[in-house]
Structure 1
Amino acid sequence: MDKKSEEFYERLKQELIDSTLWPSEYLFKFIVPTDQSRILQVEDAFNGMGAVIETTQSKKGTYTSVSVNVRMQSAQAVIDKYIELSSVEGIISL
């Protein structure tokens, strides 16, 4: 992971610690190219966690927004999930 990413995740972790009482519900939002295998990669990452997942395709169908509402145990667990999903080709975390 590059230095810029490390700094971003550290800052996000601190914001999550300061603003949230853990464990807590957390809403992940991603945009992925519309490709069933990539969407499944995101969904599979939350398998067995009781997540509520909604997908919405863009008007042209090029991209799909994936919203995942799930109870997370800690700020670090949120960061770990973002890092895990950063390997999905073309994913954008919002």
Structure 2
Amino acid sequence: MTTIEGVGKGSLDLIQVAFMEEGGFQCGYCTPGMVLAVKALLSENPEPGDEQIVEGLSGNICRCTGYEGIKRAVRAAIRKQK
């Protein structure tokens, strides 16, 4: 089992960097869950489409961002992992 503390292993993971660069969070409350959800999604499907991204994030609620910044961050992480 991986927690948010184990994601970066000493430095930021590319998903965390993408969240920062794309404004994928505001208050930060949902960010650990979102990062872990994206990590799980990309480990199962390295190039998900928009529907798969929405489905992968569906277990997490964010009341601050409206999800657009988060979806941009996921797309940026997909580009970064190539």
TM-score relative to the length of structure 1: 0.28
Which structure has the larger Rg over C-alpha atoms?
1
- Higher helix fraction (1 or 2): 2
Choose between structure 1 and 2 for higher RCO, CA contacts under 8 A separated by at least 6 residues.
Answer: 2
- Higher strand fraction (1 or 2): 1
